Structure 1
Amino acid sequence: MTNTSILISVIIPAYNAAKFLPDAIASVEKQTFPHWELLIINDGSTDDTIEIVREHQKTSNRIYLINQTNQGVSAARNQGVAHSQGQIIAFLDADDQWLPDKLSQHWQHFQSNSRLGVSFAQVEILDQAGEPTGQVSTSRLNNLKPEYFLSENPTTTTSNWVIRKEVFTQVGGFCLDMSYSEDLEWLLRVSSTTDWQIQGINQVLTRYRTSSGGLSSNLYYMEAGWKQLVNRARIYAPQLVHNHFALAQALHLRYLARRAFRLKLPARVGVDFITRALISDWRLFFHQPQRTFFTLLAVFGALVMERIFGFNTHRRADAEGDKSLGVAE
């Protein structure tokens, strides 16, 4: 029987999330908006994820545990939506957190606009230890065109999303065969095939944990995931892809070049991405020219330093893991 008092269903996909999950759950429990349920989708964890959820269930009858074999984050989110009772869905990754008025602010946002399908806000960036980096997302919040979702993610992270369940039902769930850019693909599908609006709130409501290291291969997997997005978009938005592919690819490759530099990967990785970005579309020089210039300066400067001094200062970082969620530039 449906619980009509539940208005927002919070979905946390969790795979071996024991280290960070308690903080994520606590940030939901501290919400000033009272009408929520929390569905935690255990995606085949082998750590203490299940035990942590059960401990929280002892003090709350609004927390539900759903177990599935390991199928990936897209399947976990889809499973959560399928079991949800709320008319609004809010996604939260197990290693991220919300500010206390997150759900309240988004609920008011939906109440003020009946055509709003996806609500998001600004994001505070945390380091791997959960400490603030001083960085806040600066992406566009309003007047978002479909082509914006073809190249970059204005919402930064799925933990920032609050959506109408009706929209999810209309366009379908996350693509199960995509490990990267599945969030961008879903937003692009909404933006290019429906009349639902995607709008942001000019306020920090989500705290996103990023990693300090990464593998070069992860960035190339991200590029492959973006190509999957493009191939899918060619089916439902062929003209959009035709008109914007070159610049969109250039923007995405520039983002990967910047990410490679921030992760302190070997300079050749960043050089590869920015070189191919400029080959894809030279207009990149005129699209946020300062960002393009400093990316060029950073990656080629790192390459020169490596060659002059005869050693790779980034070699150790190349062996570390990387959280592969897309982050807006």
Structure 2
Amino acid sequence: MKKVTVIIPAYKVEKYIGSAVASVIAQTYPNWELLIVDDGSPDASVAVCQQFDDPRIKIIRQANRGVSAARNTGIRHAQGEVIAFLDGDDLWLPQKLEKHLAHLESSPSVGVSFSRSAFIDESGEQLGIYQLSKLNAIAPSYILYRNPIGNGSSPVIRREVLEAIRYSDAQRDCYFDEQLHHIEDIECWLRIALQTSWQIEGIPEALTLYRVNSQGASTNEVQQLESLEKVLAKTRTYVPKFIALWERPAKAYQLRFLARRAIREQATSKAIQLVHQAIAIHWRILLEEPRRTLMTLAAAYSLWFLPQSIHKKIENMVLKITGNSQKRRIYQEQSRQLA
């Protein structure tokens, strides 16, 4: 039975990290170690973790250097043959590790196994909607503009995959780019896809619970766009033709993603501006994903034209329809997998 190292970066997550740790302890797969990397957190995050009495849990401390550095520290200390990441404000369902280890065991060419994710709110209640993407035949371009893995709490990775993309920076072994504080995960998955022969493949179940909160790192659209520019510039140094082909689609899909976030925050002008920028930079997004793009455009303008109460009712209705459709899709894919 392979040992799994679970790495949780801890920084200002005192409200949630106890639940995250408990979800690891509840795993049906027993052979794991949990490395909690205190990234110089000023709150009680570490004190919460110290309340757990389990010899498989270790706490590593470092000065604050960001989530990439915290993950790198965890990887350097890991004893497992398989590495899994869990953000301090997210959760796993109990069979998460068991199902990913079975996937990796049955698929020797797969180096990164990921799952679907269900959205939860700040109190941990499921919102009834999911992060869905294609599960196999994942090309580097798809990682760049659609990020099928979805979030940093979803993938379970063979240690040898991470060693294949290791590089040295300031005399430290690095896997995630410590200069990036947003979309650092996409940059890492992209290097795996472009620089190794390992496949990235998903399983249909929603085994990760991804928390939507207003303080999360993914909420600042300016920093997100700046980080994308850094990822494109870095990747251009070793695959310039790839970036020349996919730079504009990547920017367009990121702008549309940020427009949808602005809609949820009811930032009307920002949402309209972002969705128009997306279409202007890569108009083919209208042909590639017409339903999602036109719905984003319509939702942005409905914030402007409709009273807030009516917009909210429409939004709730659309989310309910979307959630039901997503549940059916997950069920159908699980059924096909078992057939």
Shorter-chain TM range is: 0.7 to 0.9
Q: After the TM superposition, which residues 63-74 of structure 1 pair with which residues of structure 2 at under 5 Å, given as runs?
A: 63-74=57-68
CA distance in 2, matches of 1:216, 1:27: 23
Instruction: Kindly provide the amino acid, as one letter, of the partner of residue 19 in structure 1.
Output: K
CA distance in 2, matches of 1:222, 1:114: 34
* 1:103–1:234 Cα change, 3 Å: same
Tell whether the 8 Å contact from 2:9 to 2:88 is kept in structure 1 after alignment: yes
Match of 2:210 in 1: 208
Tell whether the 8 Å contact from 1:44 to 1:69 is kept in structure 2 after alignment: yes
* 1:217–1:106 Cα change, 3 Å: closer
Which range moved further: 66-75 or 224-233?
Answer: 224-233
Residues 243-295 of structure 1 show CA distances to partners (whole Å, capped at 9, x for unaligned) of: 12222221111111111111222x11112211111111111110110111111
Which range moved further: 271-280 or 208-217?
Answer: 208-217
Structure 1 runs not aligned, ≥5 long? 314-329
**Which one of 23, 26, 42 corresponds to residue 22 of structure 2?**
26
**Which one of 152, 155, 161 corresponds to residue 167 of structure 1?**
161
**Which one of 45, 59, 67 corresponds to residue 49 of structure 1?**
45
Match of 1:110 in 2: 104
Match of 1:134 in 2: 128
Pair 1:13 & 2:9 matched: yes
Q: After the TM superposition, which residues 281-296 of structure 1 pair with which residues of structure 2 at under 5 Å, given as runs?
A: 281-296=282-297
Instruction: Kindly provide the amino acid, as one letter, of the partner of residue 40 in structure 2.
Output: G
Match of 1:242 in 2: 244
Task: Tell me the CA shift for residue 27 of structure 1.
Answer: 0.5
* 1:286–1:217 Cα change, 3 Å: same
Relative to the length of structure 1, the TM-score reads 0.87
Residues 39-59 of structure 1 show CA distances to partners (whole Å, capped at 9, x for unaligned) of: 000011122222222221xx2
Tell whether the 8 Å contact from 2:182 to 2:217 is kept in structure 1 after alignment: no
Task: Tell me the CA shift for residue 303 of structure 1.
Answer: 3.2
Residues 207-231 of structure 1 show CA distances to partners (whole Å, capped at 9, x for unaligned) of: 1111258899811111111111111
State the secondary structure of the residue aligned to 2:83. Answer: strand
Match of 1:222 in 2: 224
Instruction: Kindly provide the amino acid, as one letter, of the partner of residue 46 in structure 2.
Output: I
Instruction: Kindly provide the amino acid, as one letter, of the partner of residue 41 in structure 1.
Output: V
Match of 2:327 in 1: none
CA distance in 2, matches of 1:77, 1:213: 20
CA distance in 1, matches of 2:89, 2:219: 22
Tell whether the 8 Å contact from 1:130 to 1:209 is kept in structure 2 after alignment: yes
Relative to the length of structure 2, the TM-score reads 0.85
Task: Tell me the CA shift for residue 116 of structure 1.
Answer: 1.0
Tell whether the 8 Å contact from 2:92 to 2:208 is kept in structure 1 after alignment: yes
State the secondary structure of the residue aligned to 2:50. Answer: helix
CA distance in 2, matches of 1:179, 1:304: 36
CA distance in 1, matches of 2:198, 2:75: 19
Residues 108-151 of structure 1 show CA distances to partners (whole Å, capped at 9, x for unaligned) of: 11111112111001111101111000012221111111001111
CA distance in 2, matches of 1:186, 1:74: 10
RMSD: 2.0
* 1:256–1:105 Cα change, 3 Å: same
State the secondary structure of the residue aligned to 1:236. Answer: coil
Residues 153-176 of structure 1 show CA distances to partners (whole Å, capped at 9, x for unaligned) of: 211111001001111111121111
Task: Tell me the CA shift for residue 64 of structure 1.
Answer: 0.2
Match of 2:337 in 1: none
Task: Tell me the CA shift for residue 97 of structure 1.
Answer: 0.7
Tell whether the 8 Å contact from 2:251 to 2:281 is kept in structure 1 after alignment: yes
* 1:131–1:118 Cα change, 3 Å: same
Q: How many residues align?
A: 301
Pair 1:301 & 2:297 matched: no
Match of 1:195 in 2: 197
CA distance in 2, matches of 1:128, 1:50: 20
CA distance in 2, matches of 1:191, 1:130: 33
